[in-house]
Structure 1
Amino acid sequence: MSLRGRVLGITLLLLVAALLSSNGLVIGQLRHDLVGQVDERIRGLATVAARLPSLPEVAVEDVPQVRATVEQQLIRDVHLAYLGPDGGVDRVVRAAAGRPPELPRLDAAAVAGRGGRPFRVPATGGGDGWRVVAVPRAGGDGSLVVAGSLGVVNRTVRQLTGRVLLIDSAVLALLGIAGWFAVRGGLRPLRRIEATAAAIAAGELSSRVPELAAPRTELGRLSAALNGMLDRIEAGDAARAASEERMRRFIADASHELRTPLFGIKGFTELYRMGGMPERADVDASMSRIEREAARLVELVEELLLLARLDEEGTAVPLHLTPMDLRTLAADALHDLRALDPQRPVTLTGPGGGPPGGAPVLGDEARLRQVTSNLVGNTVAHTPPGTRVRIGVGTEDGVAVLEVHDEGPGMT
């Protein structure tokens, strides 16, 4: 069963219980009051009849005093009889219209013990009961019994019970219909939350639960909690995407940085294998160069690890500035190009041509060497074999310049 059905069902059950309880109490109280009215009337009738002289054994209509009292008391069905001292019926002054009451033994002691209080007896052969009052006669000879039928009371209670049940049924039906729409409207915010959750499950992490109610209500607190959870989920997803992007960038940087030294070492070894180093001095120079490239590889690996940590922490790479000359980097770049592509013509000139010159700077040699290695690697990778390359170094307008110029098609 849906939540709406459960809420409506529980509400209707509580209403049914409340209506039955309240109506039961009202009907019970009404019955008690009606029986009390019957008791008052038969008690008054008994008081008047007990003070009258002995009535002849005729119908009550022939006795004006009793008739007037009965009509005044508005008791439609009355049973009135004289009893002897032993409790036997001497004569019946007014007989019951229907089934008479089934009286217990009412001798003088029993009548005195009842003290004039009304009590209930069944009807002879079943049916509506009777309320009875037994009082001593004025002359002290026997007693008088007056019984009032509860038929009117029972019919009134039955009619009222039927009408109340009909009214309650109509009220419950109307309340059920109104409650259905009310619960449906009250649960509309939950359906909006459900729609938002479905959108998030489909991948729309930017969706948020609207403010459905005041922050201090249950729905308001639920919306705030869900939106907070969604913010953390979206932030975590963004952090994961950023971490993956940093990892891809780190791999690309590592591949780019390590390629040039590795190609340099590979070029020197191939040059040695092909017999391009006939002299011992050439071998020693190449081995020295290979050693420096290997040291650069180790340094690059350490720097890449440092770069990854700094990128994760969001801080900049520290620079170690020292006086240096860019001609050292230019000469190393020349050796790298010749080792990577021995057939490629490479010249060392000044900026824009002419003789090379000094280029003193205050810089981080490791970072500058890293930039130069990237330029050399890009030249070898992105220009056709045999393309002329010029490395220029010197000063221009008081500024130290190091350039790597090729005659390739360029990048688009």
Structure 2
Amino acid sequence: MTMPGVRTLPLRFGLVLAVVLLTAVGLLASGVAVTSALENSLTRRVDTQLEEAAQGWARPLGPPPRELAGEPGPARPPSSFFVRTVAPDGTVLRQVNDGDVTPSLPDAPVTTPTTVGSDDGDQHWRVLSTTGSDGTTTVGLSLAENDDTVQRLVVLQALIGLGVLAAVAVAAYFVVRRSLRPLREVETTAAAIAGGDLHRRVPARDRRTEIGRLSHALNGMLAQIQQAFAATAASEDAARRSEEKMRRFVADASHELRTPLTTIRGFAELYRQGAMPDTDALMSRIEGEASRMGLLVEDLLVLARLDAQRPLDRRPVDLLAVCSDAVHAARATAPDRAISLVVLDGPGTPEVVGDDARLRQVVGNLLGNAVAHTPADADVVVRLGTTADSVFVEVSDTGPGLSEHDAAHVFERFYRADTSRTRASGGSGLGLSIVAALVAAHAGRVSVESMAGEGATFRVELPREGLSGSALEP
């Protein structure tokens, strides 16, 4: 269980503390081992001296020499040994001790080196007894020098250890701070991303390092998050645009349908009131408005089917026949207009795989749009050509053309270049939007090039996929 203070400790301080603690444990273990080894070595040296004395000069082989007793002098130099000889009857025959402290000897002789205390102090002694025919001699050596040496070693190790720990702490702090610098960069990047900057990335580093693998993993995650946000934003934008288009579509459709209905209702009211005696003219007007409303409903149904992505009746279609029939129909409708068909040289035959009826509607709408929205003296030309992988149809006119704004919105539903919604030229504003939808359903492209006062050119390009090899040969 971790303490709250430890959990709130910054990582760099935690790592430095861990290094210092591990170093302290290592120094402590090393100090204990060295001190124990030195203490044991000094003790063994004292034991060796005691054993040599017990087996040599301290062994009782006769009456003790008189000159060994008493204070040190010319006849007996000072000695660090404590010597006591006891007769078999317990009489102390000899005792030599040049120090101020006397060891506390056990009652029974000790045959192995043993540590004992003192009678009048806390000093320790190492003693050993040897027994002969004339009694028992006990020799001892003070451990004061050994203890003092060990204590000085402990103090020295403590001072050196503190210095080493301070140096390790400072070095570890700078090393950890430098090592954690990439993590601070990750923290800064994460804060920037949290603030909304999804384009920020963690600096890439060597994948062989932990920070490198972390940075690559984070950058991959950030890329996915950015893509998800972008996809969500795009989906929301698309939903808003779709909703706006739907609202505009419903409003325009309601307006377009309301106008003929209002006209029909008005003529019916006039007929009921007897205000129009010419019944044929009245019925003709009602029939015209009903027909126009029927055409509008049919166009709306076509767009609804295309929006629902209903499958088309796909089969090889000869666009030369489609364009030729459209030109003949336009000439029959407007015999006084100059309408021509031009077939351009190109590889293969102008055939595509698609819905014949819908492709005829595409060319018919483009041609009808050119005839309806250009003056009577304007020329209309239909061009048919091929490329290596597509077939294109161009419908050009020499009319007034389109402005840049009109050209950008001409394929939108219910869009008219004349904002007053006049119907002098006819049409519901759905013809070109149907063209765009039908071409898109055939995986093609439709575009317009126009300048005000210089006419307009509508170009439809359809892929030649799915055709046999013979249709692609020049």
Q: What TM-score comes out, normalization by structure 2 length? A: 0.62
Structure 1's 320 and 85: CA in aligned 2 closer, same or farther, altered over 3 A?
same
Deviations 1:70-120 (A, max 9, x none): x8xxxx63210111225x3523331251220111113xxxx4xx4x42111
Deviation of the 1:202 alpha carbon: 1.6
Structure 1's 104 and 265: CA in aligned 2 closer, same or farther, altered over 3 A?
same
1:9 aligned to 2:17?
Answer: yes
1:79 aligned to 2:71?
Answer: no
Matched to 2:25, the amino acid is: A
Note if contact 2:87-2:93 (Cα within 8 Å) is conserved in structure 1.
Answer: no
1:289 aligned to 2:312?
Answer: no
Give 2:233's aligned residue: 241
1:59 aligned to 2:70?
Answer: yes
SS of residue matched to 1:80: strand
Q: Determine the C-alpha separation between the residues in 1 that align with 2:121 and 2:373.
A: 135
**Aligned pair count?**
347
1:130 aligned to 2:153?
Answer: no
Give 2:142's aligned residue: 149
Give 1:353's aligned residue: 376
Give 1:44's aligned residue: 52
Deviations 1:239-268 (A, max 9, x none): 123223333443454456555543331111
Q: 1:99 aligns with which of 98, 101, 105?
A: 101
Worse-superposed segment, 35-44 or 55-64: 55-64
Deviation of the 1:196 alpha carbon: 1.1
Note if contact 1:268-1:290 (Cα within 8 Å) is conserved in structure 2.
Answer: yes
Deviation of the 1:62 alpha carbon: 5.8
Deviations 1:344-389 (A, max 9, x none): xxxx76954149999899999xxxxxx9995874245x24x77975
SS of residue matched to 1:274: helix
Q: Determine the C-alpha separation between the residues in 1 that align with 2:107 and 2:411.
A: 131
Matched to 1:230, the amino acid is: L
Deviation of the 1:127 alpha carbon: 1.2
Q: Determine the C-alpha separation between the residues in 1 that align with 2:130 and 2:210.
A: 69
Q: Determine the C-alpha separation between the residues in 2 that align with 1:49 and 1:326.
A: 133
1:203 aligned to 2:199?
Answer: no
Matched to 1:320, the amino acid is: D
Q: Determine the C-alpha separation between the residues in 2 that align with 1:258 and 1:9.
A: 72
Structure 1's 41 and 321: CA in aligned 2 closer, same or farther, altered over 3 A?
same
Note if contact 1:261-1:296 (Cα within 8 Å) is conserved in structure 2.
Answer: no
Q: 1:301 aligns with which of 301, 304, 318?
A: 304
Matched to 1:289, the amino acid is: R
SS of residue matched to 1:146: strand
Note the aligned Cα RMSD (angstroms): 4.1
Give 2:398's aligned residue: none
Q: Determine the C-alpha separation between the residues in 2 that align with 1:262 and 1:50.
A: 135
Give 2:355's aligned residue: 320
Q: 1:26 aligns with which of 24, 31, 34?
A: 34
Matched to 2:124, the amino acid is: G
Where in structure 2 are there 5+ consecutive unaligned residues?
Answer: 1-8, 272-281, 311-352, 385-390, 394-408, 428-451, 454-474
Q: Determine the C-alpha separation between the residues in 2 that align with 1:43 and 1:201.
A: 81
Q: Determine the C-alpha separation between the residues in 1 that align with 2:45 and 2:366.
A: 126
Note if contact 2:101-2:119 (Cα within 8 Å) is conserved in structure 1.
Answer: yes
Deviation of the 1:32 alpha carbon: 0.9
Matched to 1:93, the amino acid is: Q
Note if contact 1:260-1:373 (Cα within 8 Å) is conserved in structure 2.
Answer: no
Structure 1's 282 and 188: CA in aligned 2 closer, same or farther, altered over 3 A?
same
Structure 1's 33 and 329: CA in aligned 2 closer, same or farther, altered over 3 A?
closer
Worse-superposed segment, 240-249 or 271-280: 271-280
Where in structure 1 are there 5+ consecutive unaligned residues?
Answer: 308-317, 335-347, 365-370, 392-405, 408-412
Question: Matches of residues 249-260 of structure 1 in structure 2 within 5 Å?
Answer: 249-255=241-247, 260=252
Give 1:311's aligned residue: none
Deviation of the 1:125 alpha carbon: 3.0
Note if contact 1:326-1:358 (Cα within 8 Å) is conserved in structure 2.
Answer: no
Deviation of the 1:286 alpha carbon: 2.6
SS of residue matched to 1:33: helix
Note if contact 2:81-2:139 (Cα within 8 Å) is conserved in structure 1.
Answer: yes
Structure 1's 190 and 269: CA in aligned 2 closer, same or farther, altered over 3 A?
same
Structure 1's 211 and 92: CA in aligned 2 closer, same or farther, altered over 3 A?
farther
Q: What TM-score comes out, normalization by structure 1 length? A: 0.71
1:378 aligned to 2:416?
Answer: yes
Note if contact 2:84-2:94 (Cα within 8 Å) is conserved in structure 1.
Answer: yes
Deviations 1:258-291 (A, max 9, x none): 5554333111122223338852343244334323
Give 2:152's aligned residue: 159
Note if contact 2:249-2:413 (Cα within 8 Å) is conserved in structure 1.
Answer: no
Q: Determine the C-alpha separation between the residues in 2 that align with 1:320 and 1:232.
A: 41
Note if contact 2:372-2:425 (Cα within 8 Å) is conserved in structure 1.
Answer: no
Between the aligned residues of both structures, percent identity stands at: 26
Q: Determine the C-alpha separation between the residues in 2 that align with 1:285 and 1:14.
A: 99
Deviation of the 1:179 alpha carbon: 1.4
Give 2:257's aligned residue: 265
Matched to 1:221, the amino acid is: R
Structure 1's 331 and 120: CA in aligned 2 closer, same or farther, altered over 3 A?
closer
